[in-house]
A = this chain, B = another copy of it.
Amino acid sequence: MNKILEKNLFQNRDHNHQACISEALDTANKICSAHEARFTPIRRRILELIWKSHEPVLAYDLLRILRREKDNTEPPTVYRSLDFLMEYNLIHKIESLNAYVGCSYAHRPHIGQFLICTECNQFVEIDSSKISKTILTEARQSGFEVASQTVEIYGQCPKCR
């Protein structure tokens, strides 16, 4: 394969990650406004924490962090915000990890797939219509009408190979 054609979506250690966070929060703000949904401080903080890294985050890790900031925080506080953020496609759940990630395509409709590196734990969300369409077509071969797809791909990212 032509190296030049590779679009490496994995982030370098030295990228401007504050920009990733800012953009995510900004997008979230716009989307919530557009839907007249309230982007409350807790929801905002949880989204910010999820974007703190490019790795999937566990709900109870979020809980631990929030408890340091406000000691009466309980699981429902976290899960409610996670549910809200998922409802508006601002985050996704990685089912095979019970972990949550920021959505990279929140500003537009998409059917995401996740590449998760087993070495460094970094992930990227891709939106491959080739994958989603192939799944649609192949499922139809069995007379199955697809409503949603969970595609979680494990392996080694470019840096870790």
Hey, which bits of chain A sit against chain B, CB under 8 A? 1, 5-10, 95-96, 113, 115, 117-118, 124, 126, 128, 130-131, 134-135, 137-158, 161
Contact = CB atoms under 8 A, between A and B. Distances in A.
Contacts of A10: 142-144
A139 B140 CA distance: 23
Tell me what chain A mostly uses at the interface: helix, strand, loop, or mixed: mixed
Contact of A142 (B8, B137, B152): B8
A150 B148 contact: no
A139 B126 CA distance: 9
A113 B149 CA distance: 10
Given A113-B135, A128-B138, A155 B145 contact: yes
B151 A156 contact: no
A95 B150 CA distance: 9
Given A126-B138, A138-B130, A149-B151, A143 B6 contact: yes
B95 A141 contact: no
Contact of A6 (B9, B115, B142, B157): B142
Contacts of A134: 128, 130-131, 134
